[in-house]
Chains A and B, each alone.
Chain A
Amino acid sequence: MFSRTWQRLSSVVLGSLAVPTVMADRGGLNMTQGVTEISQSIFELHMLIFWICVWIGVAVFGVMFYSIFKHRKSKGAVASKFHESLGLEILWTAIPTVILIAMAVPATSTLIKMYDTTNADVDIKITGHQWKWQYDYLGEDVGFFSNLTTSKDEIYDITEKGENYLLEVDKHLVVPSGQKIRFLITSNDVIHAWWVPEIAVKKDAIPGYINESWAIIPEGEEGIYRGQCAELCGIQHGFMPIVLEVVTTNQYQSWLDDQRAGVEAEAAAALGDFSYDDLMTEGAEVYARTCAACHGSEGQGMGSVFPALAGSSMALNDMAGHIDIVLNGKPGTAMQSFSTQLTDVEIAAVITYERNAWGNDTGETVTPKMIIDAKK
């Protein structure tokens, strides 16, 4: 019905109107308002200071540009001689002081609220590791590690990047809405920082010390919120995200029950039988997710910094030492202890894989029972 010109024109106009919305969706121009009272207060504080700065800027630059335009020699302007005024100095010292005091009042009250961790309903201990987060629900007997799941193929442009590129993990931090959650944050090694913008929680994770923060995500704001590590912590600093999953209180309780049941099931399963093939398949997957970042996707290591596993004497000869180093780590190096990070099945699988992949071909199988025995 409409001419092709009108159609083209209207799609351009409508399309351009969508741009701000699209931009707002995809990160956009501004800080998030977030989903908590605190995140909203912070956003309002941010906008207040921003607008004050804008108006001061308009005023000052306005005078400046007026002057640049009017008071130029090429327009015949003749320079005045005035060069001081005590009155003006006092005025433009006093007025900014008053403005700053006005800013400091809401800032102070928001900060005081942020520091009030009393009367929490849920306590979660968060430990930063190089390069993943560990979560422990105090008093609930639930704890796990949370690793980035974005594949190396996506990172190196071999496959297309997923929607949550670099912001997805294997196990979400699940919390209930409508309850006060207290976060107790520490680190296993270097300083990290735990940050989820939508709940405005950011705290440094410092080895040897415990920091605390809190959030209440109101009922109705259930959903997934993504964050990242916010303190340089080494090579994979950009690759240890956080996924917070907020669910209703009922869903949270069932989830806790599932987690506990899952751990029991894993412990029981570890006592069962595993074929060589089962272990190799699982081992390859564990290796890619946990070990490849340092030891290389082909077990080649990284120069003198991380030893190669392909063709290494430990992988070929020393099974007891191999099990010990994966369980207990190697003090004084970056090799961590994995006894708490991986299940017995995972550890058995990855050691079996390392002893047989990349031409190592020892033909040996390490079973979960052997791992349980080694821990005694």
Chain B
Amino acid sequence: MTTATANHNDHADHGHHGPAKGIMRWVLTTNHKDIGTMYLWFSFTMLFIGGAMALIVRTELFQPGMQLIEPEFYNQMTTMHGLIMVFGAIMPAFVGLANWMVPLMIGAPDMALPRMNNWSFWILPFAFGMLLFTLFTDAGAPNFGWTFYAPLSTTYAPSSVTYFIFGVHMMGISSIMGAINIIVTILNLRAPGMTLMKMPLFVWTWFITAYLLVAVMPVLAGVVTMMLMDIHFGTSFFDAAGGGDPVLFQHVFWFFGHPEVYIMILPAFGIVSQIIPTFARKPLFGYASMVYATSSIAFLSFIVWAHHMFTVGMPLQAELFFMYATMLIAIPTGVKVFNWVSTMFRGSMTFETPMLFALAFVVLFTIGGFSGLMLAIAPADFQYHDTYFVVAHFHYVLVPGALFGIIAGVYYWLPKWTGNYYNEKLGKFHFWMSFIGVNVTFFPMHFVGLAGMPRRIPDYALQFADFNAIATVGAFIFGLSQLVFLFLLIKTIRGGEKATDKVWEGAEGLEWTIPSPAPYHTFAEPPHVK
């Protein structure tokens, strides 16, 4: 853990001595900046762990035949990769950015519930420690896919399923508490004059995301509790033998699962909406429209879940309903893309690293959105479902989508956190390697999916070999380029060209009115917003 991100220049005069020294500072901190930092380092670690698992998967898939691992371990790798990336990397990274930036953006001295904030973070290492430990047990880690359908995950599950359930509960509690904290902070601690419609878009998107979290994480908790009861207490929620229904599992899971994927993208929409205006030196186009579009996406996300289940044998009317509702989501999403492009148009753009990641986000997330629209068409989905076409779609929206959004945010706010500009050449190099890597990895997956390659298989028929080899090469390029990012982060923390308060010429917002690096305590007196 670094200790250089905080600094001892206190503007406040309430007799604080600045942060404590040593490890106990981090264990006991209730400071949103410290907690944000911990979330970010935790998520970065999980990114590497999940990424290593992906590379094991991709290495096995480099050629037809089983060369590296056995099918049962392969299923553990794909399952754990999904769980760790979704719950350990992407979600905590967004929470870390929220912790750092939401109080600064609204002129608040900290989050509304600072002690709960500390608990929210510290649950995570324990939850994931428990999950990762199952890899070393005899029965092995969870192997039923990150979507853990019953009865594969109940009657037929390895004994580690119980640890998996406890891990999900812990991580869910962490998310719910974090979300409550964000909502309470935004509703109660905004500086005078900052009406809701004056809040930065990043605050808006996190505000909406937090409501989604409060609504659906408990449903996830419910479904894993039902699993626990089926496995250990003789109930039969999902077991037809006792009058239950495996399809019920899918309905309840995806009722959580679909809003979950919007939880993973909405904050990225917010980040990109901060970055593009800054580097185009032009206000965000259609602020109100962006707020309404994000809210529509959030509402719609509750009524589309069964588009993950088009082949389950749903009645025709239900299938049609979910197809239409899913297609509808394309509209507010498109509106956002048009607004970003209109922000750039007739701006005065420069292309520092945050802007590069943000622009790549707009293009590549949109491509992911197009494949999503194709998937929404139910009859066609019968040929796409459970193939690599789906894998291509969600990796496009999650990697050059959510992850690029996070990385863009880190580059954007890093000088504010550390007081130092990062090395721009290295940043651009990281960008181009990531951009090339991500496309070489995931674009071919569209083709093998259309050609008929199913998901979650450790070995494949010969006609899929060429594109799989290409994807593996891309995966290593992408994976290795994140080491560049790690190097750059450590280098920047340790020193560099000193950053100004404003950092970026076109930056607007309360966070750019405080010094860089941000003092340990900020906005003890709320600023007045006009």
Taking Cβ atoms with an 8 Å cutoff, the residues of A that contact B are 26-32, 41-42, 45-46, 49-50, 53, 56-57, 60-61, 63-64, 67-68, 71-74, 77-85, 88-89, 92-93, 96-97, 100, 103-104, 107-108, 110-112, 114-115, 154-157, 161, 163-167, 189-191, 193, 195, 197, 200-204, 206-209, 211-212, 226-239, 302-305, 334
Contacts and interface: CB of A to CB of B under 8 A. Distances in A.
A96 B334 contact: yes
Interface of B: 64-67, 71-72, 75, 138-139, 143-145, 149, 151-152, 155-156, 240-241, 245-247, 280-289, 311-313, 316, 319-320, 323-324, 327-328, 330-331, 334-335, 337-338, 341-351, 359, 362-363, 366-367, 370, 373-374, 377-380, 382-383, 385-387, 447-448, 450-464, 466-467
B289 A89 contact: yes
Given A26-B462, A83-B282, A202-B382, 7 more contacts: A27-B452, A30-B447, A49-B380, A60-B341, A68-B359, A100-B331, A233-B152
A305 B139 contact: yes
A67 B245 CA distance: 54
Q: Which of A201, A227, A237, A304 has the most CB of B within 10 A?
A: A237
A33 to B, nearest CB: 11
B240 A207 contact: yes
B303 to A, nearest CB: 16
A79 B283 CA distance: 9
A167 B286 contact: no
A83 B66 contact: no
B331 A93 contact: yes
A206 B249 CA distance: 12
Contact of A60 (B316, B338, B374, B466): B338
A32 B453 CA distance: 12
A302 B377 CA distance: 43
B313 A206 contact: yes
A206 B311 CA distance: 11
B152 A73 contact: no
B374 A50 contact: yes
Interface-centre pick from B72, B280, B461, B463 (highest chain A CB count, 10 A): B461
A50 B311 CA distance: 21
A72 B72 contact: no
Contacts of A154: 65
6 contacts: A27-B467, A46-B374, A85-B285, A107-B377, A156-B65, A190-B156
B457 A238 contact: yes
A234 B155 CA distance: 12
| Interface SS, A side | mixed
A156 B66 contact: yes
Contact of B65 (A28, A89, A157, A239): A157
B380 A84 contact: no
A84 B72 contact: no
Contact of A100 (B328, B348, B453): B328
B442 to A, nearest CB: 15
Contacts of A155: 65-66, 459
Nearest to B355: A68
Contact of A97 (B319, B331, B450, B462): B331
Contact of A74 (B65, B350, B367): B350
B111 to A, nearest CB: 30
A193 B311 contact: yes
B138 A230 contact: no
A209 B313 contact: yes
A209 B362 CA distance: 43
Contacts of B145: 232
Given A206-B312, A238-B460, A191 B378 contact: no
Contact of A232 (B66, B348, B451, B455): B455
Nearest to A110: B379
B30 to A, nearest CB: 38
A84 B280 CA distance: 15
A61 B454 contact: no
Contacts of B363: 61, 64
Contact of B347 (A53, A71, A334): A71
B383 A200 contact: yes
B286 A85 contact: yes
Contact of B313 (A167, A203, A231): A203
Given A64-B341, A209-B247, A230-B387, A104 B324 contact: yes
A220 B454 CA distance: 28
B377 A49 contact: yes
B483 to A, nearest CB: 29
A168 to B, nearest CB: 10
Q: Which 4 A-B pairs have the closest CB atoms?
A: A208-B240, A238-B457, A27-B463, A27-B451
A82 B518 CA distance: 32
A81 B283 contact: yes
A295 B374 CA distance: 43
A200 B382 contact: yes
A26 B247 CA distance: 36
Contact of B348 (A77, A114, A156): A77
A237 B348 contact: no
Nearest to B319: A111
Nearest to B282: A79
B65 A114 contact: no
A304 B138 contact: yes
Contacts of A61: 363, 366
Contact of A64 (B281, B344, B348): B344
B311 A107 contact: no
Contacts of B330: 96, 100
B313 A204 contact: yes
A229 B217 CA distance: 31
A237 B457 contact: yes
Best-buried of A161, A238, A239 by chain B (most CB within 10 Å)? A238
Contacts of A163: 462
Contacts of B463: 26-27
Given A27-B463, A80-B346, A93-B335, A42 B454 contact: no
Contacts of A334: 156
A45 B379 contact: yes
A243 to B, nearest CB: 12
B347 A67 contact: yes
